């Protein structure tokens, strides 16, 4: 990097000690992390480009004067001083990178046009949340943003100030041919029965996935600079799946060696063994239909741990409809998998809870920090938070979406998915499974007919061999605890 960039161009200034984070450092850190996140779906270079260009506009004199004025590096009586309070949020530093990439890629065939639109949309939106590209009255607000006057985006000024080394860096990352990468990914998204509408819906999820990679990388680079101690918490090495699998199997052995087993214990062991057998199967979508009392929480955990180990997956998610049962289930898993300190308190190195019922008294600093981006081996969260990650407004929920890739996602009591959300739920599962390498487990006593949705372009494909329990009716009869008698009077 040249002297100007090294000595003058600042991305952030730490409040505590006025230490400066150079723009070059921030862009390269963000690029590396965004590339790592996007690599999970084969778009590493696309993530890298987003990271390198997302804050390009911070190189403008206007922004540099602003950040220096805001932190006291420029005194109020100096010529370049800017009233930071009045200008907060008004100096555009996110459009420059979007404009550059749009212009660079838009004429490089269909792949280039897709790349131009997707990458520039992610960058232009990285502070606000994904912007609406069309207004209700039909205006193309995306193009209006891309064609914004350069005296307000500072693109030409920033490009003119780049050194030769910086130009070489940008040229090197642009030379990776990501227009072909994105075009190939979009072609591969299409499934056999996709309609135009379902395909476009999944394109939207792809854009949001890349957006998620950028948001999380940007926030992590900034937060790690501002709070180095938090970086140490985030970078703690987790137990490998082998270790957690062994803890799970030790618990299973305890259950199996109970001297006088009840009938229900034998049934639970059978359910658990069925889940273990299915863990060998390829990534995909599976149904676990077990009545209440059948031990489906621990059985599904056994499947997930072994499946994650076999397929080298990253996380296990439990998506639960009610906060009232998350605590109970999470605590049950903690007792099996977590380490404890000398006082017997859980260290929270395996299980993370993320839901609205957590209070400052019950949620540790570590849990609060890691819930920002679901950074834990096993995450218990709600349907609401799952939908927020996929569809929520702004950046907070979107930041977490990329963590769902290459993960085992267990939906407990899946029949509680609101009917009005079924179509979008199904398409989301298909995207996560088909395009993000996730495995889905639909877990309940009463399976909703997600494979019978009309039109069938929005349904799931669930064959008999995807049912973990081979004879679901027989299991339901064995675990039947309630008998209903019709005591109504004739004509009553």
pLDDT reported for residue 6: 37
Same-domain status, 230 and 245: no
Q: Of 179, 171, 174, which Cα lies nearest the Cα of 115?
A: 179
Tokens of residue 389, six digits: 């990650």
Same-domain status, 274 and 223: no
Percentage with pLDDT > 90 across the chain:
68
pLDDT reported for residue 89: 80
Average pLDDT estimate for 94-103:
96
Tokens of residue 245, six digits: 């699998």
358 pLDDT band, cuts 50/70/90, is low
pLDDT per residue as tens digits for the range 286-309:
999 998 878 889 999 999 999 999
* Neighbouring residues of 393: CB distance < 8 A, sequence distance ≥ 6: 129
- Give the chain's domain count: 2
Report how far residue 168's alpha carbon sits from residue 52's, in angstroms, rounded to the nearest whole number: 13
pLDDT reported for residue 479: 77
Same-domain status, 123 and 257: no
Same-domain status, 229 and 263: no
Mean pLDDT of all residues belonging to the chain: 91
> Is residue 90, in this structure, part of any structural domain at all?
yes
Same-domain status, 34 and 147: yes
pLDDT per residue as tens digits for the range 419-457:
999 999 999 999 999 999 999 999 999 999 999 999 999
23 pLDDT band, cuts 50/70/90, is very high
Same-domain status, 350 and 367: yes
pLDDT at 389 over 50: yes
Q: Is 433 exposed, middle or buried (0-12, 13-18, 19+ CB in 10 A)?
A: middle
> Is residue 434, in this structure, part of any structural domain at all?
yes
pLDDT reported for residue 359: 56
pLDDT reported for residue 265: 79
Tell which of 182, 210, 234 closes a domain: 234
Same-domain status, 210 and 269: no
pLDDT reported for residue 80: 87
pLDDT at 244 over 50: yes
Q: What is the CATH number of the domain that holds 460?
A: 3.40.50.300
pLDDT at 2 over 50: no
Same-domain status, 166 and 275: no
pLDDT at 357 over 50: yes
For residue 339, the tally of other CB atoms under 10 A from its CB is 13
**Does 317 or 74 have the greater pLDDT score?**
317
Tell which of 168, 202, 234 closes a domain: 234
Report how far residue 358's alpha carbon sits from residue 68's, in angstroms, rounded to the nearest whole number: 38
Whether 255 and 265 have beta carbons less than 8 Å apart is answered as: yes
Same-domain status, 271 and 197: no
pLDDT per residue as tens digits for the range 103-152:
999 999 989 999 999 999 999 999 999 999 999 999 999 999 999 999 99
pLDDT at 260 over 70: no
Range with the poorest average pLDDT among 248-252, 326-330, 430-434: 326-330
Same-domain status, 342 and 446: yes
Give long-range contacts, CB 8 A cutoff, 24+ apart: 416-425: 416/321, 416/322, 416/383, 417/321, 417/383, 417/448, 421/387, 422/448, 422/450, 422/453, 423/453, 423/458, 424/201, 424/391, 425/450
> Is residue 483, in this structure, part of any structural domain at all?
no
Q: What is the CATH number of the domain that holds 34?
A: 1.10.3210
Kindly report the pTM of this predicted structure.
0.93
90 pLDDT band, cuts 50/70/90, is confident
Average pLDDT estimate for 242-252:
95
pLDDT reported for residue 15: 87
5 pLDDT band, cuts 50/70/90, is very low
Range of the domain at 157: 3-234
């Amino acid at each position: 990097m040249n002297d100007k960039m090294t000595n003058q161009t600042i991305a952030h200034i730490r409040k505590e000690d006025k230490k400066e984070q150079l723009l070059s450092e921030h862009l390269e850190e963000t690029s590396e992390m965004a590339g790592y996140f996007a690599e999970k779906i084969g778009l590493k270079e696309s993530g890298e480009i987003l990271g390198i260009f997302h804050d390009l506009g911070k190189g403008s004199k206007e922004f540099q004067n602003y950040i220096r004025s805001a932190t006291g590096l420029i005194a109020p009586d100096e010529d370049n001083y800017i009233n930071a309070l009045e200008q907060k949020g008004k100096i555009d530093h996110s459009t420059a990178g979007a404009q550059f990439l749009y212009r660079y890629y838009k004429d490089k065939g269909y792949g280039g046009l897709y790349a131009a639109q997707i990458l520039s949309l992610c960058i232009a939106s990285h502070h606000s949340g994904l912007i609406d590209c069309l207004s209700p009255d039909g205006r193309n607000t995306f193009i209006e943003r891309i064609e914004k006057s350069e005296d307000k985006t500072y693109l030409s000024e920033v490009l003119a100030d780049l050194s030769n080394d910086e130009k070489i860096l940008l040229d090197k990352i642009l030379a990776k041919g990501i227009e072909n990468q994105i075009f190939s990914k979009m072609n591969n998204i299409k499934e056999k029965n996709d309609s135009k509408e379902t395909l476009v819906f999944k394109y939207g999820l792809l854009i949001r996935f890349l957006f998620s990679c950028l948001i999380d990388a940007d926030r992590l680079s900034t937060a790690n600079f501002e709070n180095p101690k938090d970086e140490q918490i985030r970078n703690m090495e987790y137990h490998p799946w082998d270790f957690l699998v062994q803890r799970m199997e030790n618990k299973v052995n305890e259950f199996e060696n109970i001297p006088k087993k009840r009938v229900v214990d034998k049934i639970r062991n059978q359910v658990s063994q069925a889940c273990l057998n299915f863990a060998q199967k390829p990534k995909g979508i599976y149904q676990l239909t077990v009545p209440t009392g059948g031990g489906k929480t621990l059985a599904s955990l056994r499947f997930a741990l072994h499946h994650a180990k076999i397929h080298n997956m990253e996380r296990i998610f439990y998506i639960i409809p009610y906060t009232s049962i998350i605590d109970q289930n999470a605590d049950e898993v903690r007792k099996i998998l977590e380490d404890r300190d000398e006082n017997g308190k859980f260290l929270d190195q395996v299980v993370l809870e993320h839901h609205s019922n957590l209070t400052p008294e019950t949620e540790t600093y570590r849990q609060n920090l890691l819930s920002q981006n679901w950074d834990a081996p096993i995450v218990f969260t709600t349907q609401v938070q799952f939908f927020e990650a996929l569809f929520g407004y702004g950046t907070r929920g979107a930041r977490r979406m990329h963590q769902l890739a290459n993960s085992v996602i267990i939906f407990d009591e899946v029949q509680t998915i609101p009917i009005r959300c079924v179509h979008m739920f199904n398409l989301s599962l298909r995207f996560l499974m088909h395009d993000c390498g996730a495995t889905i487990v639909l877990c309940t006593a009463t399976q909703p007919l997600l494979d019978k949705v009309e039109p069938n372009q929005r349904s799931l494909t669930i064959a008999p061999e995807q049912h973990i329990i081979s004879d679901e009716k027989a299991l339901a009869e064995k675990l039947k605890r309630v008998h209903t008698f019709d005591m109504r009077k004739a004509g009553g």
